[in-house]
């Protein structure tokens, strides 16, 4: 099977790429969360960059990330807040998650505005992320509520993972301290 992988800045998404992403996300989430909005996907922060795997005209895998300066303890850290990690149900277990993630990570490494990839996830998917080079960090995370932008949410419950994106960064050098995402999560 032939796949095409694209790394696309959000503002450069073509109409057909956007429509294919809408179909991919709506198939998975529409019944529970409504229609996908690329500028505010289900209340999460939108991606600046999309890594998309296509089979023909069908989007079969996606990883997005948004560049943002967050606070970790007393330091500011430039991250690629990662979200929208999704593989089409008919293509799961075909290695497409690993393929699209590796391309997203390559885009992060090539971006001199990013020191680390950053994501929050469910416990059951942590092994996938760890196999693709992400490392768990333990911290309290603060972010703007996805429902009420005047509210701050504080949590230490969900897994947080980081990926060293620049040559001077490694997961062992992730700073200690509470994390302020300075916006909604990804």
Q: How many CA atoms lie within 13 A of 52 on its CB side?
A: 27
Q: How many CA atoms lie within 13 A of 141 on its CB side?
A: 22
pLDDT tens per residue, range 21-38: 999 999 999 999 999 999
Alpha-carbon torsion 3, 65, 152, 115, what sign? positive
pLDDT tens per residue, range 53-76: 999 999 999 999 999 999 999 999
Distance CA 171, CA 162 (A): 7
Report which DSSP code applies to 113: T
């Amino acid at each position: 099977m032939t796949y095409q992988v694209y790394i696309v800045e959000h503002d450069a998404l073509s109409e057909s790429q956007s429509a294919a992403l809408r179909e991919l996300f709506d198939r998975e989430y529409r019944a529970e969360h409504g229609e996908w909005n690329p500028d505010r996907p289900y209340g999460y922060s939108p991606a600046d960059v999309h890594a998309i795997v296509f089979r023909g005209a069908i989007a079969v895998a996606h990883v997005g990330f948004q560049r943002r300066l967050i606070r970790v303890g007393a330091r500011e850290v430039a991250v690629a807040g990662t979200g929208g990690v999704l593989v089409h149900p008919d293509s799961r277990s075909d290695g497409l998650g690993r393929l699209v993630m590796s391309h997203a990570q390559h885009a992060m490494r090539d971006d001199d505005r990013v020191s680390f990839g950053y994501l929050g996830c469910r416990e059951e998917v942590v092994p996938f992320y760890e196999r693709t080079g992400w490392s768990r960090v333990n911290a309290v995370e603060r972010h703007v509520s996805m429902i009420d932008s005047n509210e701050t949410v504080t949590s230490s419950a969900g897994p947080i993972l980081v990926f060293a994106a620049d040559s001077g960064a490694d997961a062992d050098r992730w700073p200690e301290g509470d994390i302020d995402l300075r916006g909604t999560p990804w």
